[in-house]
Chains A and B, each alone.
Chain A
Amino acid sequence: MKEIEFQYQSDLHQEGEIPSDIRTEELTLNMGPQHPSTHGVLRVVLQTDGELVLQATPYVGYLHRCAEKIAEKVTYRQFTPYTDRLDYLAGMNNNLGFALAVEKLGGIEVPARAEYLRVIFAELNRIASHLVATGCYGLDMGAFTPFVYCFREREYVLDLFEAVCGARLTYSYITIGGVREDLPDGWIGRCREFLDYLGPKIAEYNNLLSYNHIFINRTGNVGVCPPDLALAYGLTGSCLRGSGVKWDLRKATPYCRYNEFDFDIPVGRGEKGTVGDCWDRYFVRIQEIGQSVRIIRQALDKLTEGPTQAKVPRAVKLPAGEIYYEVENPRGQLGFYLVSEGGTSPYRLKIRGPSFCNLSVLPVVARNCLLADVTALLGSLDIVMGEVDR
């Protein structure tokens, strides 16, 4: 295990005992809401002593759009587009989560082809989302080129999405009862070509960024979030797995026939530092891209002919009752708590945004670190403000 050689001067601040003979100048630094590496409109107030960050407090709410309140006023079908805008980098997964919640409460059966298509698109979107996370993380670390590479690859995923539903960011493709459209001609071939193309690219990212000595020094042993802390703060997704906890809803409570697929859950092993450091969280995402490729290949093989949409009335009515349903989003477990009174719109919809929970660990971990480490930590938590603020 490597040690960070820098000796943090004001370690005692954490215990609250400042020795009487030293006076430190604390400077309050306002990072955001407009800052290049807060990934949107997050505002982090930093208490700094020189380059040392004593405390980082996130303030959220700059992107609040009342998504939950809107849900009470629109029908179930009408709410699907709003879910696109939660985690706007993973619209397919959000659609899927909401659709599954509604279907579960309404007892709607989804045809087999639609199930496989859902898996394919959810995993493709996971790839796209992780590509953004990886590229932006490189950018946060000062390496511009991985960012462009990752966005280049993401373009091809978006092209695939566009071919099937016409949208590149807010898809509303996975709807209640199935998916909106069947695949266009030749799509499967293109998808396979993309998967073949992506494989070598992951090795390229690893050479360029993951195993770069400077990158490892910047991220290994930085922002360590041990497993117990990760569990205590409700971290999910790659942040939790980065801390070494082998937990994935796709394995634990399989939905959409995930149980039929053969894939691994990558976890952080502390290869370049401590378990749960930034590098682990980052590398889990890289590995998950590979696993998603595996899943998509299997799903493409299993894809059967048949309808893509169950018979669901235009105005979906759900029986009175409530349900909490979680799916494994790229950023963690996206949960929908749906309370219905029997009408065409929910009585209450509560959304558990994984980014919000993941962000909550920031003030704990970002203590007594350097200014540049806050950037590293924020990037490795991979938050999307659309989901944090909803």
Chain B
Amino acid sequence: MGVTPYLILSAILLVLGLTIVISKRNAIVMLIGVEFILNAAALNLVAFSRHGIGGLAGQTAALFVIVIAAAEAVVALAIFLNFYHRIATVDIDRGDQLKG
């Protein structure tokens, strides 16, 4: 089995993630979409690493993706919780002012 199935899967995940981010108005669901995109990218990297491109670099990069996703999720959730405390919703359309 070549690298193609992995790449196609990763493409599907990427598009799904993008669609989620675009279509949903809930901040936390958008975060879920972002996780899809990040995972698609990481999957790509690992697949290439398995199929002989870049040695261990792909896996190391995927590790960084996980780390960054963790950081991103923490900060994003903290922001959303703040947002929620102020506007009592996580609907991002309501966040149209630059102050609380």
A: contact size bracket: under 10
Q: Is B2 an interface residue (CB 8 A)?
A: no
In the complex the two chains form, is A23's CB within 8 Å of B88's CB? Answer: yes
Question: In the complex, what residues of A have CB within 8 A of residue B86's CB?
Answer: 21-23
Q: Is B25 an interface residue (CB 8 A)?
A: no
Contact with A along B74-96 (1 / 0, CB 8 A): 00000000000110100000000
B: contact size bracket: under 10
Q: Is B52 an interface residue (CB 8 A)?
A: no
Q: Is B100 an interface residue (CB 8 A)?
A: yes
Closest chain-A Cβ to B100's Cβ sits at a distance in Å of 6
A23 to B82, CA, bound (A): 10
In the complex the two chains form, is B88's CB within 8 Å of A21's CB? Answer: no
How many CB-defined contacts (below 8 Å) exist between A and B?
Answer: 8
Question: In the complex, what residues of A have CB within 8 A of residue B85's CB?
Answer: 21-23
Q: Smallest CB-CB separation from B84: which chain A residue?
A: A23
Q: Smallest CB-CB separation from B86: which chain A residue?
A: A21
Closest chain-A Cβ to B12's Cβ sits at a distance in Å of 37
Closest chain-A Cβ to B95's Cβ sits at a distance in Å of 15
Closest chain-A Cβ to B35's Cβ sits at a distance in Å of 25
Give A117-167 interface residues, CB cut-off 8 Å to B.
none
Closest chain-B Cβ to A27's Cβ sits at a distance in Å of 14
Question: In the complex, what residues of B have CB within 8 A of residue A21's CB?
Answer: 85-86, 100
Closest chain-A Cβ to B86's Cβ sits at a distance in Å of 6
Q: Smallest CB-CB separation from A24: which chain B residue?
A: B85
Closest chain-A Cβ to B76's Cβ sits at a distance in Å of 20
Contact with B along A19-31 (1 / 0, CB 8 A): 0011100000000
A22 to B86, CA, bound (A): 6
Closest chain-B Cβ to A64's Cβ sits at a distance in Å of 41
Q: Smallest CB-CB separation from A23: which chain B residue?
A: B88
Closest chain-B Cβ to A101's Cβ sits at a distance in Å of 58
Q: Smallest CB-CB separation from A22: which chain B residue?
A: B85
A21 to B100, CA, bound (A): 8
A23 to B100, CA, bound (A): 12
Closest chain-B Cβ to A268's Cβ sits at a distance in Å of 40
A21 to B82, CA, bound (A): 10
Question: In the complex, what residues of A have CB within 8 A of residue B100's CB?
Answer: 21
Give A58-105 interface residues, CB cut-off 8 Å to B.
none
A22 to B88, CA, bound (A): 9
A21 to B99, CA, bound (A): 11
Contact with A along B22-33 (1 / 0, CB 8 A): 000000000000
Closest chain-A Cβ to B1's Cβ sits at a distance in Å of 49
A23 to B89, CA, bound (A): 10
Question: In the complex, what residues of A have CB within 8 A of residue B88's CB?
Answer: 23
Can you name 8 A-B residue pairings with CB atoms under 8 Å?
A21-B85, A21-B86, A21-B100, A22-B85, A22-B86, A23-B85, A23-B86, A23-B88
Using CB atoms and an 8 Å cutoff, list the residues of chain A in contact with chain B: 21-23
Q: Give 8 nearest A-B pairs by CB, closest first.
A: A23-B88, A22-B85, A23-B85, A21-B86, A21-B100, A23-B86, A21-B85, A22-B86
Apart from A21-B85, A21-B86, A23-B86, what are 5 other A-B pairs with CB-CB below 8 Å?
A21-B100, A22-B85, A22-B86, A23-B85, A23-B88
